[in-house]
């Protein structure tokens, strides 16, 4: 039987899931690659893999997309790894550099700036551009909050805006996946979440960053009804962004 190809995120937020997959029988039935989120998205969209930990903003681009697991990368309020870092308060941001690793958080920044903060901002993907503010996600943000005059946690800002939790990435397939495999996959992800203490033991400490708080409290991993509602609302806002004349 050919193996199911899976692309997972290479960040700390996904370590418990990886632990679960690696400590379950399912590891022999999958081809696992670890990628930055934007590459996860590209691989699921192109069909290079069958399942990916897909940035939710890019789910509409996946042919035959299906969420295949009960677990995700989410938060309810602050997540502590998805930021707008800025030299000026948000009211004064005129230019913002997006993060090439991201699909969801770049769009979340656009949605929040336009619909919550009512700001027209110029966005760039040019890594060398000098801007008032930047989007930064994942491990590269750990312990960096104090390096900037302003750090806006976008999980918290989304909660302030909508009252809802958030879902950054979900396990999405681009083809029919058997119930049997889905059940085994879910069980493996759950096993990983139940072994977060082991995961923590293997992580090198990070200055100015509480990894335990991150893995147990800031990150929330369940695909709940409210998180699905948030995803739907977020995707609607993204559509409105795209319909705006430039």
Ligand X SMILES: C=C(O[C@@H]1C=C(C(=O)O)C=C[C@H]1O)C(=O)O
Q: Which residues bind ligand X (CB under 6 A)?
A: 9, 11, 13, 37, 55, 73, 79, 81-82, 102-105, 137-138, 168-169
Sequence-separated (6 or more) residues with CB below 8 Å from residue 188: 20, 21, 23, 24, 26
DSSP 12: G
CA separation for the pair 105, 99 (Å, rounded): 8
**Minimum Å distance from CB 169 to ligand X?**
4
CA separation for the pair 208, 216 (Å, rounded): 17
CA separation for the pair 18, 36 (Å, rounded): 14
DSSP 62: S
**Minimum Å distance from CB 103 to ligand X?**
4
Nearer to ligand X, 123 or 184 (CB): 123
**Minimum Å distance from CB 206 to ligand X?**
13
Sequence-separated (6 or more) residues with CB below 8 Å from residue 191: 19, 20, 23, 24
CA separation for the pair 172, 159 (Å, rounded): 24
Residue 213, SS3 per DSSP: helix
Nearer to ligand X, 29 or 115 (CB): 115
Terminus-to-terminus CA distance in the chain, angstroms? Answer: 49
Write down the H helix ranges in 82-153.
Answer: 104-111
CA separation for the pair 46, 244 (Å, rounded): 27
**Minimum Å distance from CB 1 to ligand X?**
29
Place of tokens 């691989």: 43
**Minimum Å distance from CB 163 to ligand X?**
19
Residue 192 and residue 46 in contact, taking contact as beta carbons nearer than 8 Å: no
**Minimum Å distance from CB 81 to ligand X?**
3
**Minimum Å distance from CB 165 to ligand X?**
12
Nearer to ligand X, 61 or 176 (CB): 61
């Amino acid at each position: 039987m050919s193996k199911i190809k899976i692309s997972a995120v290479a960040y700390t937020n996904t370590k418990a899931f990886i632990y679960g997959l690696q400590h379950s029988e399912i590891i022999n039935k999958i081809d696992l690659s670890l990628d930055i989120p934007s590459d996860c998205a590209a691989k699921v969209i192109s069909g290079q893999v069958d399942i990916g930990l897909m940035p939710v903003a890019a789910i509409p681009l996946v042919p035959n997309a299906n969420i295949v697991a009960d677990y995700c990368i989410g938060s309810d309020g602050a997540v502590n790894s998805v930021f707008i870092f800025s030299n000026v308060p948000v009211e004064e941001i005129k230019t913002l550099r997006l993060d090439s690793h991201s699909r969801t958080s770049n769009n979340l920044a656009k949605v929040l700036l336009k619909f919550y903060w009512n700001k027209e901002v110029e966005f760039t993907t040019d890594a060398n551009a000098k801007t008032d503010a930047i989007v930064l996600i994942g491990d590269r943000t750990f312990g960096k909050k104090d390096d900037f005059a302003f750090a806006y946690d976008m999980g918290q800002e989304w909660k302030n805006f909508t009252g809802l939790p958030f879902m950054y990435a979900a396990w999405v397939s681009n083809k029919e996946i058997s119930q049997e495999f889905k059940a085994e996959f879910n069980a493996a992800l759950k096993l990983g979440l139940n072994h977060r203490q082991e995961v923590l033991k293997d992580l090198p400490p990070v200055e100015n960053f509480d990894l335990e708080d991150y893995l147990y409290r800031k990150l929330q991993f369940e695909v709940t009804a409210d998180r699905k509602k948030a995803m739907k609302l977020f995707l609607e806002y993204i559509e409105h962004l795209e319909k705006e004349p430039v």
